[in-house]
Amino acid sequence: MATRRDAREWAVQLLFQMDLNPPEDTGPVLERFWEDVKSDKGPREYTERIVRGVFSHREELDTLIQKAADHWDVARLGVIDRNVIRMAVYEMLHCPDVPAIVSINEAVDIAKYFATSESGRFVNGILDRIRASIQPADPVTT
C-alpha cells in the first residue's frame, strides 16, 4: 500500500523529468508514469495534485525560493533540490491539510534520499526561511 511519502517521491521524480524536459501539458507525462508505477487511488491523486500544482504555480514558487535562497539563483540549484523545495513550498501554500513542518521534514528526507545529506541541510534552511515568511508568528511564543 502506497503512502503520502511514496506520492511525494513520485512527484519529485516527475517534477525532475518535467524540469529537464518541460512539457506543454502534464497529462501525457502522468499517463506514461502510471503505466510503469502502480498505486492506490489516494497516493496517485496526491502525486498528481502536487505535480499539477507545482507545474501551474512555478513562477510563484520560484519567486519565494529566490527570496529565501541568499546568493543562489533558482536556475542554478541542483535539479533535485529545486524540485523538492518547489514541492514543499507548494504544500505549504496550497495544501492546508498538511502542516508546514510535515512538508519540511518530508522534503529534507527526500532530498537526502535522492541527492546528498548536505542537500537535506540546504533544503531545510531554505524551507524554514520560506515558512517564516509566509506564516505569521505565533503571538503566544514570541
Question: Tell me, what's the pLDDT at 2?
Answer: 84
Helix, strand and coil content of the chain, in percent to the nearest 5, comes to 75, 0, 25
Residue 75 lies in a domain: yes
Count of domains in the chain? 1
Provide the residue range defining the domain that includes 116: 4-134
Residue 140 lies in a domain: no
Q: Please state the φ and ψ torsions of residue 23, each to the nearest 5 degrees.
A: -90, 165
- Please name the residue that has the C-alpha cell 541542483: 78
* Contact yes or no for 12/84 (Cβ under 8 A): yes
Q: Write out the chain's pLDDT in tens, 142 residues.
A: 789 999 999 999 999 999 999 999 999 999 999 999 999 999 999 999 999 999 999 999 999 999 999 888 999 999 999 999 999 999 999 999 999 999 999 999 999 999 998 999 999 999 999 999 997 655 554 4
Residue 141 lies in a domain: no
pTM value? Answer: 0.92
Please list, in sequence order, all residues whose beta carbon lies within 8 angstroms of the beta carbon of residue 96, skipping any fewer than 6 positions away: none
